[in-house]
């Protein structure tokens, strides 16, 4: 069995504005990658994401970007093991009839081990926090992560 999860939330802004908050490194750094992101999310690129509250930059491989609809990323599974492997993150954006945007984030690919389960739970928590922080940033310009983890 492969471990996976899916989280979602609604943001009261048009889909393009919400999509740009994720692909634009300057915007992403205001609410998620609080120690910076090295580049725009473009298919075929590798960018570095750094979190002030979890020091150490992470390489993020961008495998697919569909404007205002979908982003697919691959990155290192966050678990200690002898043979490193990657998980796949899919972020989908859907414009709702009421003007809000539904953002759904799914991650899959951890090994069915105790360590894989712990890592998947941690990332589920992290992506849920990212959705909350993105909502507050995009709707109100507030950095929810500031001081949250440290």
Would you state the pLDDT for residue 46? 97
Q: Closest Cα partner for 49 from 68, 82, 76?
A: 76
**Is the residue at 149 inside a domain?**
no
**Domain around 126:** 3-140
Would you state the pLDDT for residue 81? 56
What is the distance between the alpha carbons of residues 141 and 12, in angstroms, rounded to a whole number? 13
Q: What is the pLDDT of residues 15-43, one digit of tens each?
A: 999 999 999 999 999 999 988 899 999 99
pLDDT band, residue 52 (cuts 50/70/90): confident
Would you state the pLDDT for residue 34? 86
Q: What is the pLDDT of residues 86-125, one digit of tens each?
A: 999 999 999 999 999 999 999 999 999 898 899 899 999 9
**Is the residue at 103 inside a domain?**
yes
What is the distance between the alpha carbons of residues 73 and 64, in angstroms, rounded to a whole number? 7
| β-bridge mates for residue 107, sequence order | 5, 89
**Is the residue at 145 inside a domain?**
no
Strands (E) in the chain, as ranges, are: 3-11, 46-51, 54-66, 70-76, 86-95, 101-110
What is the distance between the alpha carbons of residues 140 and 78, in angstroms, rounded to a whole number? 31
Q: Count up the domains in the chain and report the number.
A: 1
Instruction: Assign residue 118 the CATH number of its domain.
Output: 3.30.530.20
Would you state the pLDDT for residue 83? 65
């Amino acid at each position: 069995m492969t471990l996976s999860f899916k989280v979602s939330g609604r943001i009261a802004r048009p889909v393009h504005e919400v999509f740009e908050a994720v692909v634009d490194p300057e915007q992403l750094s205001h609410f998620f990658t609080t120690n910076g992101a090295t580049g725009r999310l473009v298919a075929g690129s590798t960018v570095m994401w750094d979190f002030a509250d979890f020091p150490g930059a992470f390489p993020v491989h961008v495998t697919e970007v569909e404007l205002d609809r979908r982003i697919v990323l691959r990155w290192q599974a966050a678990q200690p093991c002898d043979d490193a492997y990657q998980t796949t993150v899919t972020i989908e954006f859907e414009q709702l009839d009421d003007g809000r945007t539904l953002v759904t984030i799914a991650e899959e690919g951890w090994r069915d081990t105790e360590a894989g389960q712990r890592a998947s739970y941690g990332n589920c928590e992290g992506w849920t926090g990212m959705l909350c922080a993105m909502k507050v940033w995009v709707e109100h310009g507030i950095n929810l992560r500031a001081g949250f983890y440290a």
